[in-house]
Every structure is written in structure tokens, then in C-alpha cells.
Amino acid sequence: MKWIKTYERWVYIAIIVIGAVIWGAQQEETTIEPLPLEQQEQQEQQEEKKEELSIVVDVKGAVKRVGVYEVAPESRVRDVIQLAGGFTDEADETKVNLAMKVHDEMVIYVPKKGEEITTESATMNDASRSSAKININTATAEQLQTLDGIGPAKASAIIAYREEHGPFQKVEDLLHVSGIGQKSLEKIKEQIVVR
């Protein structure tokens, strides 16, 4: 018993260390299960990411398999045509820009050789061009200045922000640009798109 009194301090320290090691090992084995609400939020975030990772393109005309295809955002028209089985023998490949990047809700029409564009189609194309939204990730200063309330200074600020911070992820990211406030954004929101 005399030795216990001599080494009492060391015995207490050993007991504390052993207890801490056992407690720590038990803590590592215990996993924390997320609450149902957190699980739902995580699933929604994963679905949003999945949506961001693919876009939908409609392919029509002289291709082997006409249809709607889901592709990666960085895909080109060439990639989508390949998914559609390639061109048919009647396809006029010279009228299709295979290097163009695709975007969500895009329609790719491959005409047949000798097919003429009707006046009605030309009018529809002109109308769609005039109502086309401006992609703020690729727009030039001149294109940005066609937006309501955007002059040379704001256009330059948008481009400078884009070059410094990378492409915009959503339209609301414009609020981070110097000189663009909520009122300015509301004016141009329907005229712009992020691709």
C-alpha cells in the first residue's frame, strides 16, 4: 500500500488517459445521422446540381434519330448530332455549324440537300433573334449596352467582374457588380440569360 501513496498521482493520470482514449474511440464509432429536413435539403441540392450538369437539346431534320437529347453544358452541335446517329444521306452538312456550343432548350435543325428556307421560317428566325436574350457570360460591351439602363460604364463593370471572378452562375450574380443594384437588375432581368 505504501507504493500506492508514492505513485498515487501517476495512477490517477493513467486512469484519466485510459478513460480519454476509450471515450475517444467510442466517439469515432458514433455517426451522426442528419435530420429528415437536412436530408431533404441535401437531396434538393443534389438534384439542382444534376440539373446544372446537363441541358436538353431538340434535334430535328436530316438526322438518323430525331429526338430530344440531354447533354453536358460544354457540348457542341457536333456532339449532339453524333448522339442522334449522325447525318442522313440527304443532309446538307454545310448549313450546320458543328462547332457551335449548345444551350438549354436549343433546337438544332439539319436541312436536306437543296432544301430552301421559306419566307415564313426566315421571318420566324428574325423575330427570334430580335427577342433573343443576351448571354451575360459572353456578351460584348456593345451587346450589353443594348440592355435597358446599361451604358458604357456599367457594361465595362460587368465585363471586368466577369473577367476577374469567372462566368456568372445565375442572373442575380449581377448584384455583385459595382453600379448594378436591385432596380437595375429588375429592368434587365427579362433581357438576359446565363449560359
Q: Which helix (H) or strand (E) holds 128?
A: helix 119-130
Single out the residue in 109, 130, 151 at which a domain terminates: 130
Residue ranges for the chain with pLDDT beneath 70: 1-6, 27-36, 38-39, 46-52, 117-131
Question: Does 166 fall in a domain?
Answer: yes
Long-range contact set of residues 86-95: C-beta below 8 Å, sequence gap at least 24: 87/62, 87/63, 88/62, 88/63, 88/64, 88/112, 90/62, 91/61, 91/62, 91/63, 92/62
Q: Which residues contact 152 (CB under 8 A, 6 or more apart)?
A: 141, 145
Tens digits of per-residue pLDDT, 142-192? 989 999 999 999 999 999 999 898 889 899 999 999 999 999 899 999 999
Distance from C-alpha of 62 to C-alpha of 69, rounded to nearest angstrom = 16
Q: For residues 192 and 180, is the Cβ–Cβ distance under 8 A?
A: no
Residues 101 and 147 in one domain: no
Query: How many residues are there in the chain?
Result: 195
pLDDT value for 126 = 37
Single out the residue in 130, 146, 162 at which a domain terminates: 130
Single out the residue in 105, 130, 155 at which a domain terminates: 130
Q: Considering its fold, how many domains does the chain have in total? A: 2
Question: Does 175 fall in a domain?
Answer: yes
pLDDT value for 3 = 61
Please give the residue range of the domain that contains residue 156. Answer: 134-193
pLDDT value for 23 = 79
